[in-house]
């Protein structure tokens, strides 16, 4: 937005005031004062006053012809006086009648700062005191109302229910947060949190108990069988390497006679036979040796300080390894992008899971009286705490906002709120004044 020549750029405070005034003009432009009903009521009151003035001057022409004209003239005269008096009173609230500097007029524009302080004080004394907030909150079952809202079925003609709107907004908020935050910094913070939690957990006893439990239920046997098969396949893939090792280590006589080849074949055959026997024989001595070693390892993991220290050192090295950090950052980025896509996809399982969770929470708030009591107590304490800590700031905000309005703004806002009623005051004043004048004329005529 440009500025005129010779003018400086407005300050932040001026911009705030200008925005408030602009918003006030927009609100006043659409306020009830300027709608058809308000205009009709204002013209009705003015027209009634003009009619009384015309009737007053017209009736004076016929005062000598009949006594009824005297009554009509008295009614019109008093009605005109009452209408003018009320017009003056109504106008004096908001502006100076006819622009004349009459004392005690334009009451609202001249006293807007005092009005702002009075409104703020009224708000503080009647709404934002801890006692008032606690008393009002004590009679409200916020938890039940929230539960009803969450489980309320969609109304006829609605495209979705309350839960859909809430989950849609929550999902979009989640996506916006994940996109706005620095992914590297957030990923490092998440990793640091996970690493801190992992550092607090001593995994050695946990691994020992897991191994001990698995052996007690024979759940280690499929793992052992798989390891034996893996050893056999590895040996098969590396037969040439084994033959080359035996050929290299054999002396010249064995190589000259070809015995090294026969030794290599015997070694390989013996190893294959051993692995096959261990695999098919559940009572094989080698299996017993392996299980004995696993039992010892499970015991040492739980009770041997040296073993536990080695495992913890391995855990720390793994956590601090740069390769693990790089791997985690890649995993985190994939998780972040997946969450953003799922949050923005209305047909994703994320939205359905959130809807189910909200519905379940709503039913719990409806049926669980103990939960209702806890939620209501928390809401009441929160509201009282907000009123205690921030009540003064809220009141100050109201006061300063009203004080920032210019006279036209505050006058327009108040007048827009009570404009039609003020026109009724003018009409009532005109009619009541006429009746009073008619009564006085009757009394004077009787005397």
pLDDT tens for each residue of 86-127: 888 888 877 788 777 777 777 777 777 787 788 777 877 777
Inside any domain, residue 328: no
Task: Supply the pLDDT for residue 29.
Answer: 38
Statement to judge: residues 316 and 417 lie in one domain? no
Inside any domain, residue 94: yes
199 pLDDT more than 80: no
Statement to judge: residues 208 and 305 lie in one domain? yes
Inside any domain, residue 61: yes
Statement to judge: residues 305 and 413 lie in one domain? no
What are the b/e assignments for 270-303, b being 16+ CB within 10 Å? eeeeebeebbeeeeeeebeebeeebeebbebbbe
Residues 6+ apart with CB under 8 A from 355: 163, 164, 167
Inside any domain, residue 242: yes
Mean pLDDT of 133-144: 82
Inside any domain, residue 274: yes
Statement to judge: residues 410 and 316 lie in one domain? no
Lowest mean pLDDT among 27-41, 59-73, 272-286: 27-41
Lowest mean pLDDT among 90-104, 145-159, 167-181, 249-263: 249-263
Q: Give the CA distances from residue 335 to residues 130, 185, 190, 198, in Å, rounded to whole numbers and listed in that order.
A: 45, 15, 12, 20
Statement to judge: residues 210 and 307 lie in one domain? yes
pLDDT cut 90: percent of the chain above it: 3
pLDDT bracket for residue 50 (50, 70, 90)? very high
Q: Which of 294, 320, 346 is the last residue in one of the domains?
A: 320
Q: How far, in Å, CA of 22 to CA of 14, rounded?
A: 12
**C-alpha 267: how far from its chain's center?**
72
Task: Supply the pLDDT for residue 275.
Answer: 78
Lowest mean pLDDT among 25-29, 232-236, 266-270, 344-348: 25-29
149 pLDDT more than 80: no
pLDDT cut 70: percent of the chain above it: 80
Residue linked to tokens 């006819």: 98
Statement to judge: residues 213 and 306 lie in one domain? yes
> Is residue 432 a contact partner of residue 82, using CB atoms and an 8 Å limit?
yes
**Six-digit token pair at 278?**
């261990």
More confident residue, 25 or 298: 298
**Six-digit token pair at 59?**
């009736």
pLDDT tens for each residue of 341-353: 777 776 666 666 7
Inside any domain, residue 168: no
> Is residue 208 a contact partner of residue 305, using CB atoms and an 8 Å limit?
no
Q: Which of 300, 320, 340 is the last residue in one of the domains?
A: 320
> Is residue 430 a contact partner of residue 86, using CB atoms and an 8 Å limit?
yes
pLDDT bracket for residue 394 (50, 70, 90)? confident
Task: Supply the pLDDT for residue 2.
Answer: 38
Q: Which of 293, 320, 347 is the last residue in one of the domains?
A: 320
Inside any domain, residue 18: yes
Statement to judge: residues 207 and 313 lie in one domain? yes
Inside any domain, residue 31: yes
> Is residue 435 a contact partner of residue 48, using CB atoms and an 8 Å limit?
no
Statement to judge: residues 310 and 418 lie in one domain? no
Domain count, the chain: 2
234 pLDDT more than 80: yes
Statement to judge: residues 313 and 414 lie in one domain? no
Kindly report the pTM of this predicted structure: 0.40
Q: Which domain range does residue 215 map to?
A: 201-320
């Amino acid at each position: 937005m440009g500025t005129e020549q010779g003018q400086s750029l407005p300050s932040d405070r001026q911009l705030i005031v200008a925005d408030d005034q602009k918003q006030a003009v927009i609100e006043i432009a659409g306020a009830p004062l300027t709608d058809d009903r308000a205009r009709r009521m204002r013209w009705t009151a003015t027209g009634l006053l003009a009619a009384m003035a015309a009737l007053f001057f017209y009736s004076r022409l016929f005062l000598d012809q009949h006594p009824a004209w005297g009554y009509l003239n008295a009614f019109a005269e008093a009605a005109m006086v009452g209408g003018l008096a009320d017009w003056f009173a109504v106008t004096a609230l908001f502006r100076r009648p006819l622009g004349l500097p009459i004392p005690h007029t334009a009451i609202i524009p001249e006293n807007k700062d005092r009005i702002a302080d009075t409104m703020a004080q009224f708000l503080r004394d009647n709404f934002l005191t801890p006692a008032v907030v606690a008393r009002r909150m004590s009679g409200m079952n916020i938890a039940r109302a929230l539960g009803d809202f969450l489980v309320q079925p969609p109304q006829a003609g609605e495209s979705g229910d309350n839960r859909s709107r809430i989950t849609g907004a929550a999902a979009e908020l989640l996506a916006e947060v994940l996109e706005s935050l620095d992914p590297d910094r957030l990923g490092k913070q998440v990793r640091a949190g996970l690493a801190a939690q992992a550092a607090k957990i001593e995994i050695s006893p946990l691994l020992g108990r897991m191994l001990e439990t698995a052996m007690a239920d024979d759940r280690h046997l499929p793992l052992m069988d798989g390891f034996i098969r893996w050893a056999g396949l590895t040996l098969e893939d590396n037969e040439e390497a084994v033959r080359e090792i035996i050929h290299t280590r054999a002396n010249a006589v064995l190589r000259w006679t070809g015995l090294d080849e026969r030794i290599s074949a015997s070694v390989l055959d013996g190893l294959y036979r051993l692995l096959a026997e261990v695999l098919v024989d559940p009572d094989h001595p080698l299996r017993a040796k392996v299980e004995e070693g696993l039992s010892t390892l499970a015991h040492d993991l739980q009770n041997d300080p040296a073993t536990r220290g080695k495992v913890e050192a391995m855990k720390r090295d793994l956590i601090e390894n740069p390769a693990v950090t790089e791997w985690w950052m890649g995993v985190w980025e994939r998780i972040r992008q997946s969450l953003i896509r799922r949050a923005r996809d209305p047909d994703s399982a994320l939205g359905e899971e959130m809807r189910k969770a909200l519905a379940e929470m709503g039913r719990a708030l409806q049926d669980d009286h103990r939960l209702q009591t806890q939620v209501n107590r928390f809401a009441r304490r929160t509201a009282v705490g907000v009123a205690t800590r921030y009540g003064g700031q809220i009141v100050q905000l109201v006061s300063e906002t009203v004080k920032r309005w210019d006279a036209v703004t505050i006058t327009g806002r108040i007048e827009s709120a009570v404009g039609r009623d003020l026109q009724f005051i003018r009409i009532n004043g005109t009619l009541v004044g006429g009746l009073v004048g008619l009564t006085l004329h009757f009394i004077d005529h009787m005397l």
